[in-house]
Amino acid sequence: MSERLDGPRLGVAYYPEQWPRERWRIDAELMSEAGMSLVRLAEFSWALLEPDEGRFEFAWLDEVLEILGGAGLEVVLGTPTAAPPVWLIERHPEILPVRADGRTVRFGHRRHYCPNQPAFLEATERVVTALADRYAHDSRVVAWQIDNELGGRCFCDRCRSAFQDWLHRRYRSLGNLNESWGTAFWSQTYSSWRQIPLPESLPVPLPDGFLPSSPNPGLALDYRRFASESLVRFQRLQIRILRERCSPGQRITHNLMGFRYPDVDYHALAGELDFVSWDNYPLLDRTGRWSTQALGADAMRGLQGGPVWVLEQQVGPLGWEMLRTPRRGQMRLHTYQAIAHGAEAVFYFRWRTARFGTEQHWHGILDHDGRPRRRYREIRELARELLQLRPALGGASPVAEAAIVHDYDSRFALQVQPTNAALGYEETVQRHYEALRRLGLGVDLVSPRAVLGGYRLVVAPNLYVLDQEVSAALADYVEQGGWLVLAPRIGVKDRCNALPERAFPAWLDELSGLEVVDYASVDQHSAVRFGGPDGTMPAGAFTGWYEEVELKGARPRARYLEGDFAGSAAVAEREVGEGRVTYIAGAASESTLRDLYRDLCARADLPVHEVPDDVESVRLLSPRGGGLLFLLNHASEDRAVELDGAWQDLLGGEGGSGVISLPAYGIALLAGTVAALPEDVTAS
Ligand code: GAL
Ligand code: ZN
C-alpha cells in the first residue's frame, strides 16, 4: 500500500460531539502541531447524526470536517451502528440482544443490538446510506470504519429461527443433520427444523469437566459459526452500501480486536475489507507479556498478508473501573512495536480524556481539562522521530520464516469442550509463538487455507477440527520441502465436531507416520519428563496432557523418561518427500518448546538469534533491499544485546559493533552488517 511507502503515520480517535464547538479548531491545530495526520470520527454518534427516524443532521460533522481538513488532517469516518439511539430501541425493543442466560440486554451501554433483527438492519441501511451519500466523494475522508469492534452472540428468537434456516441451507435434509450431529445420542433426533434449539452456551468452567447442561457438540459448533457469520453478514450489508457509493480513494476497514478476541471468525470478517485494522491495548493483558501485542499484530497482519492500521492504540492509563498506568517510555515502545510488526498508521485512543460517560478513566492524549501535558509532548517528539525514519521505514515489512496455522473451527470447538486447561487454544498458540519469536524467527499467523509454500517452518499447534482438504494441503507443503510441526490434539474432530472413525491425528496419521494409541489428561501442573540417555535427544517436559504414539514410519526424536508411556516416543519425526513432519506428543511449556525449536532450527539450517527474554527483536526488509532490525526492550531496566557485526542505530544515531545496550523500555533500529539482519528471505 502506498501510504506505508511513505513511512508510518500517526492519528487519533476524536469525539468532537463530546466537546463544545469552540474547542474544535484548537484541537485540530494541536493535532497537526503534534505531527498527526489522521483522525477517526463518528463511530458512536448515531443519535446526533439521526436524532429521529429519517431526520439527519450533518451540519456539525460538515463543520468538523471543514476544520480538520483545514488543518491538513485526513479522516476515517465510522459508521455509527455500534450505538443504536434510544428512539430506535423504543420503537423496536426487539433489537436488544438476548444473552446466553436468557436475559435481554438493556439500553444504556453500547453494542446493544442483534445483527439479525430486520428493524435493525433497516435502520442500519438508512443511516449508512445517508452517511455515504453525504461523504462518498469528500476528499477529506480517506477511509471508512464499519461499526466498532464487531462481536457478541445473541440468543433471541429471531436468531433461533435464522439459525434453523442457516442449518437448513447447510445440511439440506434433516436426515443429514441428524446423522452429522449424531442425534441418536440421548434421543435428540429432530423431525422438523423448527424443533432445533439454540445451544446452552454458558462459559465452560475448568477444570471440573461436568456442566449442568452441555449441548450437542455439533449444534454448539454450528451455532458459533452462525453467530460469527451473522456479524460478517452485517458488515457485508454496510460494505455493499459504501462500495456502491464511495469514490475509489476511500477504502473500507473495520477495527478488529487482535488475537485474543475469540468469538468472530476474523478470516471471514477480514476477507471482505480493503485493509485490516485493529485496536491495541497492551496493558489489558495483566500478565504484561510483550508477546500478547506482538501476537495480536502478527495475527492481524496475517489476515490479509498486508500492512495494517492500528485504529486504537493505548496512550495512557486505562480501565473502566480500576486503572492501569503505563510506565514512562511504554507508550513510545508500544507504538514502535506496532510499527515493527507492520502498522502503517497508528491512531491513539483517544484525543482527550472524557469528562462524561463510562470511559472517564480511559485517558487520552490530553487530560480532561484539555491541556496538553507530557503525553502530548511525547507524541509530538515521536512524530518527529518517525518523520526522520521515513526513508528507512517506508515500505519496510516484517520478515517471517515461520507460520502458525490459526483456525476458528478448532477454536470454537475447543470452547465447547476445552478438554484440559493445558490445551487452551489461545495459550497454546501463544506458547509456540513465543518460543519461535524468542529464537528470533519472524512468524505469520495464517488460515489453514493460506498458501504455505513460502515458509520454512509451519506449525499447527492445535488444529483440533480438521478435514481431508486441509490435511492434503499440509501434506503438499511437506512434500515440497517444508517442515511441519504438529502438536496435540490435531485431527480430533471433523467439521461437524464429531470424532472421526480413524486414529488420531486423523487425516494426518499417514503423513506423520504415527498413531496416538493412548493419552493421559492430568492436572495441568503435573509434568512428565522426556529426553534421552545419550544426551543427543532434546529434553523437556509435558504438563497436563501427553500421548502415547505408535510409530508407523516416524522415528523417535525424544522418549518419555517416566510415567505410563516411559520408553516410548515423546517427540517423533518423519521425512516425507523433500520435507519433514515433527509430532510433539504433549502440551509443552514455552521453554521446552524453545529447546525443541532450537534443535529443529539447527537441523533445518535456520539461523536463530536469541536475545534476553524481555527484549523483542523484529527483522524487516525494506523495499530498497536493506535489512533492518528492531530491538525493543520491554523490561523496566537496561538490557544488553549481543550482536555479531557492525551496526548503525537509526534511532539513536550511534554506531558500533558487538554489544548494544538498551535503556528501560528503549528501542533501537539497526542497519549495518549485523548477522541477524534479514537478507535473502522473502518479506511477508
Ligand atoms: C475499545 C473500543 C473503544 C473504547 C476503548 C477503550 O475496545 O473500541 O471505543 O471503548 O476500547 O475502552
Ligand atoms: Zn438475536
pLDDT tens, position by position, 66-76: 999 999 999 99
pLDDT score for 359? 95
> In whole angstroms, what is the distance from residue 200 CA to residue 202 CA?
6
| Ligand 1 site, residue 347, Cβ cutoff 6 A | no
pLDDT score for 357? 96
Q: Which ligand minimizes its atom distance to the CA of 313? A: 1
> Residue range 224-244: average pLDDT?
98
User: Picking from 115-129, 203-217, 647-661, which range would have the lowest pLDDT averaged per residue?
Assistant: 203-217
- The CB density around residue 234, as the number of other CB atoms within 10 Å, is 21
Catalytic annotation present for 149: yes
| Ligand 1 site, residue 147, Cβ cutoff 6 A | no
pLDDT band at 683 (very low <50, low <70, confident <90, very high): very low
Residue nearest to atom 10 of ligand 1 (CA): 359
CA-wise closest residue to 492 among 513, 514, 467, 529: 467
pLDDT score for 674? 87
Q: Which ligand minimizes its atom distance to the CA of 260? A: 1
Buried b (16+ CB within 10 A) or exposed e, 344-369: bbbbbbbbbbbeeeebeebbbbbbee
Could you tell me whether strands 660-662 and 527-531 are parallel, antiparallel, or unpaired per DSSP bridges? unpaired
Residue 225 CA, ligand 1 centroid: distance in Å? 25
Largest CA distance in the chain: 80
- C-alpha grid cell for residue 619? 527483522
pLDDT score for 205? 63
Catalytic one of 149, 229, 378, 434:
149
Q: Which pLDDT tens digit goes with each residue over 594-639? A: 999 999 999 999 999 999 999 999 999 988 878 999 999 999 999 9
| Ligand 1 site, residue 359, Cβ cutoff 6 A | yes
Per the prediction, the chain carries an average pLDDT of: 95
Catalytic annotation present for 229: no
Q: Which atom of ligand 1 is nearest to the CA of 255?
A: 8
Q: Which pLDDT tens digit goes with each residue over 446-495? A: 999 999 999 999 999 999 999 999 999 999 999 999 999 999 999 999 99
- C-alpha grid cell for residue 469? 482438504
Question: What proportion of the chain, given as a percentage, has pLDDT over 70?
Answer: 97
Three-state SS for 410? Answer: helix
Q: 374-393 and 330-340 are packed helices; what angle lies between their axes, rounded to 10 degrees?
A: 30
What are the backbone dihedrals phi and psi of residue 346, each rounded to the nearest 5 degrees, phi first?
-130, 120
CA-wise closest residue to 13 among 260, 281, 249, 319: 281
Residue 139 CA, ligand 2 centroid: distance in Å? 37
Q: Which atom of ligand 1 is nearest to the CA of 349?
A: 5
Residue pair 647/672 in contact by the 8 Å Cβ criterion: yes
Q: Which atom of ligand 1 is nearest to the CA of 43?
A: 9
> In whole angstroms, what is the distance from residue 279 CA to residue 149 CA?
8
DSSP state letter for 534: T
> Residue range 567-584: average pLDDT?
96
Query: Given a cut of 90, is residue 675 above it in pLDDT?
Result: no
pLDDT score for 201? 67
Ligand 2 (single-atom ion) residues, CB below 5 Å: 114, 116, 154, 156, 158-159
Query: Given a cut of 70, is residue 120 above it in pLDDT?
Result: yes
> Residue range 110-125: average pLDDT?
98
Catalytic one of 3, 229, 312, 616:
312
H, E, C per residue of 225-252: HHHHHHHHHHHHHHHHHHHHHCCCCCEE
> Residue range 411-439: average pLDDT?
95
| Ligand 1 site, residue 148, Cβ cutoff 6 A | yes
> In whole angstroms, what is the distance from residue 448 CA to residue 551 CA?
26
The residue whose grid cell reads 454450528 is 222
Q: 576 pairs with which residues across the strands? A: 579
pLDDT score for 589? 94
Residue pair 636/644 in contact by the 8 Å Cβ criterion: no
Query: Given a cut of 50, is residue 684 above it in pLDDT?
Result: no
CA-wise closest residue to 252 among 236, 230, 234, 232: 236
In single-letter form, the type of residue at position 178 comes to N
Q: Which pLDDT tens digit goes with each residue over 249-308? A: 999 999 999 999 999 999 999 999 999 999 999 999 999 999 999 999 999 999 999 899
| Ligand 1 site, residue 278, Cβ cutoff 6 A | no
Q: Identify which has the larger pLDDT, 252 or 203.
A: 252
Task: Tell me which of 110, 146, 309, 359 to substitute to probe ligand 1's pocket, judged by most ligand atoms within 8 Å of the beta carbon.
Answer: 359
Burial of 195 (0-12, 13-18, 19+ CB in 10 A): exposed
Residue 200 CA, ligand 1 centroid: distance in Å? 29
Question: What proportion of the chain, given as a percentage, has pLDDT over 90?
Answer: 90
| Ligand 1 site, residue 349, Cβ cutoff 6 A | yes
Task: Tell me which of 46, 148, 324 to substitute to probe ligand 1's pocket, judged by most ligand atoms within 8 Å of the beta carbon.
Answer: 148
